[in-house]
Amino acid sequence: ITVIPEVDLPGHMLAALAAYPEMGCTGGPYEVCPRWGVFEDVLCIGNEKSMQFLEDVMAEIIDIFPSKYIHIGGDEAPRTRWEKCPKCQARIRTEKLKADKNHTAEDRLQSYCMTRIEKLLNSKGRQIIGWDEILEGDVAPNATVMSWRGSAGGIKAAQLGHDVIMTPNDYCYFDYYQSEDTRHEPFAIGGFVPLEKVYSLNPTASLTEEQAKHILGTQANLWTEYIPTSEQVEYMVLPRMAALAEVQWTQLEKKDYTNFTTRLAGLIGLYRRDGLNYREPFRQQADSTATEKK
């Protein structure tokens, strides 16, 4: 396997801002949030110290990880602080970042940040991956796009000639419920992604044969805000991961859900042999002990 590190920027940076408040637009004080969320306080892109911080972090990442790809996030970065920040507005003027009917000047500011980091990483022989929000503004020229807010971002990116990893939340978020009867499932963040829904994903839908070549693959996401144990990780992943693996490696015309479910019995046997806390794939309801070790 290849381990790909992710340093999410310029949002999801409250921990960094708590340590270095001068890198935020307001100067703080900031506190590390004890729970998940999307927060207005992001890195101040108008502050050169913030950009130098990012470049220093990337230099450290390059030293530690030999992977071709480095994920730099780009998701869930509100523009609120930038709109009122004198330094950010000065950067917008200096770099001649212009709004248009589809993008604000602050969208362009995020693109400036992502492109600057991409140029640094490209110069070191690395390439970036970013969440589909990096399409807002001007996408970094060599970026690989990870499409999570549905498939639309991935389709757009592939049509623009960018490589794509499809991970649409409505098919690939394994922290979502596996049954509509949530009373008998472990508490989850929401959503509904049953086994058959995962299997039905077509990563290259709406693309020409040439555009489809840009789809590098798929990814399952398991965010663990409400998953406190390894046993519950197993329950949320198995056997949905088997369905996604078949989506990834099976030609579309050879996919057959009925055939898949027949073969799944053998895989369930391996789960049992290894003592894994899988979810029974065909029961209508989970009992109240679903997260206990089987």
Distance in angstroms (rounded) separating the CA atoms of residues 249 and 244: 9
Closest CA to 135 of 146, 127, 126: 146
State the CB neighbour count (10 A cutoff) for residue 146. 26
Alpha-helical regions (H) of 67-104: 80-84, 86-94
CA 112, CA 45: separation in Å to the nearest integer? 9
What element of type H or E holds 145? strand 144-147
Structure tokens at 235: 């329950």
Reported residue count of the chain is 294
Which residues fall within 8 angstroms of residue 84, CB to CB, at 6 or more apart? Answer: 25
Dist CA 106 CA 88 (whole Å): 8
Active site residue 6: no
β-bridge partners, 286: none
Question: Token pair of 271, please?
Answer: 């789960």
**Active-site residue, selected from the candidate residues 76, 95, 231, 280:** 76
Secondary structure letter of residue 76 according to DSSP = S
Residues 222, 286: Cα–Cα separation, whole Å: 20
Q: Are 102 and 118 in contact (CB under 8 A)?
A: no
* Residues labelled as active-site residues: 76
